[in-house]
Amino acid sequence: MRSLVAIFISIVLSAPALAQAQAPKSREELMLQTQRLALDNIHSARCGADRCKPATEEEKKNLPLSLTETSQVFGRGIFSGGAAVCGIDWNKRNYEPMMAYWRKQKKTERQLALISVIHGIVMEQIQSKFAGAEGCPPEMKQDVEAKIDFKP
C-alpha cells in the first residue's frame, strides 16, 4: 500500500507546474521552486481586504517563509488534495485550522496569502493527478483519514 505522500512525490517529479524547467534534485529545491511559484502567483491571493501586490525581486531573493515552513504547508496541501479527491472535508479539518495556527504564529497578511497559495498549488497537483479517475482508492482514503486533521 502506497501512502499519499509517496504517490505525490512520484507525481511532483513530473508535474510541469512545480517542476518547471527541471525536476527538483532535492526536497529543499522542491520547496524553493514551490515558494517561488507561489510568489509568482501571489497577486491572485488576498492580502487582507485587497489583492496582494505582485512579488518583488527582493522578495524572491529573500523568501518570506523558511523552507521548513514551506515544507509544512506543502505537506498539508498534499492531504487536502487527497481529501478533496476522496470527498473528505479538507477545509474544516485541515486548511482552516492550519491558517489559524499560522495567524497565531504572527505571520503577516502577505505571508498568510503565500501560505494559502502554496497550499492551493500542491492541492491542485493532487487533484489533477486523480482527475478522471474512478473514485478514491481505498488505501488513499485510509491514509488521508488518518492524517487530514491539522495538528501543529
Kindly list the domain boundaries of the chain, sorted by start residue: 4-147
Q: Which long-range contacts (CB under 8 A, 24 or more apart) does 51-57 make?
A: 52/110, 52/113
Q: Mean pLDDT across the stretch 126-133?
A: 84
- Residue-averaged pLDDT of the chain: 87
Write down the pLDDT at residue 19. 47
Write down the pLDDT at residue 8. 55
**Neighbouring C-alpha atoms within 13 Å toward the C-beta of 85:** 31
Write down the pLDDT at residue 48. 87
pLDDT per position as a tens digit, 5-60: 555 555 554 454 554 556 777 889 999 999 999 999 999 999 989 999 999 999 99
Q: What is the DSSP string of 48-95?
A: TTEEPPPPPHHHHHS-SS-HHHHHHHHHHHHHHHHHHHHT--HIIIII
CB 2 within 8 Å of CB 15: no
Q: Mean pLDDT across the stretch 77-88?
A: 94
Band (pLDDT 50/70/90 cuts) for residue 78 is very high
Its pTM stands at 0.86
Write down the pLDDT at residue 109. 96
pLDDT per position as a tens digit, 114-129: 999 999 999 999 998 8
Percent of the chain with pLDDT over 70: 85
